[in-house]
Each structure stands twice: as structure tokens, then as C-alpha cells.
Amino acid sequence: MAGKGLPPSNPINPMFLRTRREFLATGLKGAGLLAASAFAPAFITRTAAATGAARDSSILVVIQLSGGNDGLNTVIPFADDLYAKARPTLRLTGDQTLKVNDTLGLHSSLAGFKNEFDAGRMAIVQNVGYPNPNRSHFRSMEIWHTGGDDTKPRVVEGWLGRYFDARCRGLDPHKLPGEIGVSLGKVMPQAFRNRANVGLALNDPKTFQWNPSGETSTLASVQKRIFEKINQPGGSGMMSGAPASGGITGNEPDTMDFLRHTAMNAVVSGDAIRAILKHEKNRGKYPDGQLASQLQMVARLIAGDFPTRVYYVAQGGYDTHADQLGNHARLLADFSQSTTAFLDDLRKQKLSDRVTVLAFSEFGRRVAENGSKGTDHGAAAPMFVFGDTIKGGLHGTPPDLSDLVDGDVKHKIDFRQVYASLLDGWLHTPSKQILGQEFPGLEIV
């Protein structure tokens, strides 16, 4: 990372000025203790310097639908007899859908999405998948996160992690030094994994601080200083004593450094995040539930200019092997209501032209239902892109249920074509360098 000071200045939008100035003040003050400390690692001072710099760059929000969303009961080919035949208990008829044309309809839980679609702000990319579909949740999720597939050597770094690495190398003219990806939720998605190990998993900002125990403020500040010293990234991880038995090389210093890095990253961003959350509010009403609360936090962080261009949220529960009908309807309602509340919020705050939302699931589900009124793991399925500036509508062709692979929908569009379109067209980063090869882009952004 080369980052020195702020990126090239852009025309200042007065709307953001207040927020930005306040943020710079509070953000830097929050990080002050560390930034001023002799032990402050370089990346921390960079984060502090970059604070507020994300002002007018484009932002990507990824929504992961975990478990394998049933694409056929999301965008429903109601006119297809083969669909009706394969789904004796789960099929939805044309009248039960929100029709987008004569053959396809959205699930009736997706009323909010139907509005977005009609306004041209929702793209449905049909039959998305990859070669040799893998029906394991874990392997398929890994493929989506890394942008690899089973035809190539396995990669462990995430596609967004590589994007951050590329930005650090200076590929992006709007480069923001010290930028980090933020995942709302309990764990760090593999999509964020990269060499620089940056990325935040943010569940509850209250947990992002170390509390000293000293009764006097002086003792507390001494403790805080010692804590920073103990957790200074790049410090020695070597044991001062000899190990009991030698001969096999240890990997412990790496883990030690990872732990220190994570601790300091949380401390510094915690200060900045709490400062933002103190004065940024959501507009409009969101439904209850985890996805909605994650998106609420994202909207506030965007409004407060938190320095990242990529947010990651997830909604679980799509592994509908049994009793799918009611459960799937509830999941889709939550997905649609939460997402549209988020888009409305951004619109009210005049931030919507800066944000594109991408929704995916690790696979679709088997065309034929199983005997438990559910569906097993499948292959290709639709992906969704939302945003005020995107090219909405249907992309690709409807699923061909007469031409299946092992009973599953064949993919016609590679998911990396969608990634490539967003990297090139929205995040302004050459996709070839992130994905390792050229994937033909789609007209979505």
C-alpha cells in the first residue's frame, strides 16, 4: 500500500460537507490515541487519514442469500408445463405471481421488488452459475466467494479481497488508501480474504473497544498504552524461550500477527463507527429482522462516509429441503422488504445514485421437488442487481426445463460475468486482474 494523504480531491458536494467535516474531526479524534502513539502501525494512520474520503465514490452492497435460494420459485416460469409437472405441491400459478411478462412472474412476496423492476431499477440476470456445478453448500459458496471454479487450481483469496489488493496496488484512479471492506454479521466472508488481511466483521459496534480496568484515569491510560504495545502488528512473535522439542517449523508468529492486526483494526474502526452511528439516522421504516438491521447499519455508514466501497450482508435459511412453501415465502418477503426499505432510505438521503446492490445465492434448487415438500440442492439460478443507475429488466433467457444437467437448471451466464460487469463498470477496476481472465461483461451497469 502506497497511500500518502488523501486521494485526488473531487468536486465537493455541499450535502456531504457537514457530515464529512464532523466525521473527520470525530474520526481522527477517536483514532487519536493510537494515531499519536509511537506504536501506531502504519495502516492505522492511513485509515485515520483516509477517513471521510469515500464521499463520492461508487459503493457496492452484496447480499448473500445463504443455503441455496430456489430460483424457480423466485422468478417463476408459470407458463411452463414442465415446471408445473416437477412441482406438484410447490408450484405457483400465474395468478399467484407478480407477472413481469407472459411467461415469468415474481413470487408474490416480492411486491417491493416488482416496483423496483417496473421502475427499471432491478436487473434479473437469469440462469447464472458456473461449469461443473458443485452441490455442496460449502464448496459452492467458496466458488462464489473466490471467483474460481473446479476447472482451475483452487484459490483461497476472495474476489473482493483481490479487489482491495488491486486498489492498494494503485489500479484504481479513485484509489482510497486505508480502505477496508465491511461485512455486517458475525463472521468474515471468504470473499474478503486477501493478502493485506483487511476487512471488518461488524456485528455490534459496542464490542469494538478495549476497556481498561484501572480505577484512576492515569492507570487506565497506562493500561491502554500497554495494550496497544502488546497488540502492535508486526511485533515479534518469537518465543523468548526454547521450545520443548524442535525439528518442525512453527507457524505461530503468523497467527500472533493476525491476532494483533485484528485487535488494532477493531479498536480504530470502532471509534470511527461509533462516531458515525451517533449522528447518522435511517429514513423510513424497515421491517424487523437481521437482514433489515444489517442494511440499516450499512445505510448509516454510507451516510457517514465510512471509508469503504464494499459492504457485505447475509440472510440465511434458504436450504429448504422440507416444507418449503411457507418458509420460502417468509424469506423472500424479508429479503424484498428489507432491501427496498434500504433503497428507499438511500433515496431519501440522496445517496442512492452511489449504491449498487448485488444479491446471489450459492446455487438454485432441484427442478423436481422431493418427498418432503421441499427441494434439494440444484445448480443455476437468477441473480439480482439493484440501483438507480443500473440497466434494469430481464437479462439472459428464461430457464430451459427441457434441457437439464442431473435434474438441475443449466447455467447460461457465468457468475463471473456479473462480477466483471460490476468491477469494470461500477467499481472502475479492471476485472481481468481480479478474476484472472476476461469474462464478457453484461449490460447491467
Which residue among 209, 281, 285, 397 contacts another protein (CB under 8 A)? Answer: 209
**Residue with Cβ nearer another protein (262 or 389):** 262
Contact between 245 and another protein by CB under 8 A: the answer reads yes
**Residue with Cβ nearer another protein (48 or 442):** 48
Q: Beta-carbon neighbour count of residue 323 at 10 Å?
A: 12
Contact between 252 and another protein by CB under 8 A: the answer reads yes
* 134 to 163: interface string for another protein, x by CB under 8 A: xxxxxx------------------------
CB of residue 384 to another protein, shortest distance in Å? 23
Contact between 89 and another protein by CB under 8 A: the answer reads no
CB of residue 234 to another protein, shortest distance in Å? 10
**Residue with Cβ nearer another protein (46 or 354):** 46
**Residue with Cβ nearer another protein (68 or 392):** 68
- 180-199 positions binding another protein, by CB under 8 A: 186-188
Contact between 238 and another protein by CB under 8 A: the answer reads yes
Contact between 200 and another protein by CB under 8 A: the answer reads yes
- Contact (Cβ atoms closer than 8 angstroms) between residue 167 and residue 176: yes
The closest of 308, 58, 304, 269 to 181, measured between CA atoms, is: 308
Q: How far apart are CA 311 and CA 372, in angstroms?
A: 36
Which residue among 9, 101, 151, 211 contacts another protein (CB under 8 A)? Answer: 211
Sign of the alpha-carbon dihedral angle for 121, 290, 185, 3? positive
Long-range contacts of 6-15 (CB under 8 A, 24+ apart): 6/49, 6/50, 6/53, 7/50, 7/53, 7/174, 7/175, 7/176, 7/177, 8/173, 8/174, 10/55, 10/56, 10/174, 11/56, 12/55, 13/55, 13/56, 15/350
Q: How far apart are CA 126 and CA 413, in angstroms?
A: 7
Q: How far apart are CA 199 and CA 106, in angstroms?
A: 35
CB of residue 166 to another protein, shortest distance in Å? 22
Contact between 377 and another protein by CB under 8 A: the answer reads yes
**What residues pair up with 409 in beta bridges, in sequence order?**
404
**Residue with Cβ nearer another protein (9 or 207):** 207
CB of residue 381 to another protein, shortest distance in Å? 17
Q: How far apart are CA 388 and CA 163, in angstroms?
A: 23
Q: Beta-carbon neighbour count of residue 201 at 10 Å?
A: 17
**Residue with Cβ nearer another protein (86 or 442):** 86
**Residue with Cβ nearer another protein (115 or 370):** 370
Which residue among 79, 82, 155, 263 contacts another protein (CB under 8 A)? Answer: 263
**What residues pair up with 315 in beta bridges, in sequence order?**
65
- Contact (Cβ atoms closer than 8 angstroms) between residue 357 and residue 329: no
**Residue with Cβ nearer another protein (95 or 215):** 215
Contact between 289 and another protein by CB under 8 A: the answer reads yes
Contact between 321 and another protein by CB under 8 A: the answer reads yes
Contact between 207 and another protein by CB under 8 A: the answer reads yes
CA 2 to chain centre: 25
